[in-house]
Amino acid sequence: MGSVSIFQINAEKECTVDLVFTTERHNPEEGEEHLGKCSARVLFRNQKPRPVINITCTRLTEKNKRQQEDYLLYKQMEQLRNPLDVVNIPDSHGHVGPSLRPIWELAFLGSSYVMWEKTTQFLHYYMAQLSSVKQWKTNDGAIDFDYTVLLHEFSTQEIIPCRIHLVWSPGKPLKVKYHCQELQAPEEASGTEGGSAVAPTELSNF
């Protein structure tokens, strides 16, 4: 799958993790297995969250094709009947209905930004479930999506509910605002990049 090397130079001050990994499509189409190759350096400073990430990838789907796919996805979502009565994706048995899949994936995209902001060298997050949809609007070529997820933090085993509001337009940076119900207060970040309103949607050399 890939390799991981961890350097702790003065672990109190800095922890660097070097990663090599491959990527695959989140929802693989029949017969087409596109593997991107990435290497990344992740830096945690002073055991704080929101690590600094430098990442390089090759063999990703090319930009034009990605934009095309984003646009198609947007069109697909535009067709969706308003899913405001939707709760729990996946359901208890792990099923995600095909028509709800794009919602789940968009929820995951927003959650991954939230998780990046909260991750430290000790705290690792996963999206356990999309618990409810508060609002789903498509207008002006953008999806306005307000929802709650349950994040699972691995080392404490806690489940953390987060309310996330994202705005997604194909080809434009994702806008994310969120609030999580937490036991501890949020911390300063490891890096200085990004405010809470903007996160990268494309992988590129920083």
Partner 1 sequence: MKPLLGTLYLLGMLVPRGLGYDRFPARHRREVVDKTGSPWRSLETYSYDRYHPMEEIYQWMNQISEKYTEVVTQHFLGMTYETRPLYYLQISQPSNNPKKIIWMDCGIHAREWIAPAFCQWFVKEILQNYKDNSRIRGFLKNLDFYVLPVLNIDGYIYTWTTDRLWRKSRSSHNNGTCFGTDLNRNFNISWCSTGASQNCEDITFCGTGPASEPETQAVSSLIESQKENVVCFLTIHSYGQLILTPYGYTTNKSSNHEELIQVGQKAANALKAKHGTNYRVGASADILYTTSGSSKDWAHDIGIPFSYTVELRDNGTFGFILPETQIQATCEETMEAILSIVDDVYAKYWSSNSAGKVTSTAVVLSLLTSFTSLL
* Identified binder of partner 1 from the candidate list 95, 98, 184, 205, rule CB under 8 A: 95
Residue 206 interacts with partner 1 (CB under 8 A): yes or no: no
Contact 111, 131 (CB under 8 A): no
Q: Which of 76, 156, 181, 204 binds partner 1 (CB under 8 A)?
A: 156
Question: Rounded to whole angstroms, what are the CA distances from 195 to 70, 111, 123, 136, 159?
Answer: 24, 16, 21, 24, 25
Query: Of these, 128, 180, 189, 203, which contacts partner 1 (CB under 8 A)?
Result: 128
Residue with Cβ nearer partner 1 (73 or 123): 123
Helix orientation angle between 101-118 and 63-79, rounded to the nearest 10 degrees:
120
Q: Which stretch binds partner 1 (CB under 8 A): 11-19, 53-61, 66-74, 93-101?
A: 93-101
CA distance 107 to 165: 9
Stretch that binds partner 1, among 11-19, 51-59, 71-79, 125-133 (CB under 8 A): 125-133
Minimum CB distance to partner 1 smaller for 22 or for 56? 22
Name the residues that contact partner 1, by CB under 8 A.
1, 88, 90, 92-96, 126, 128-129, 150, 152, 154-159
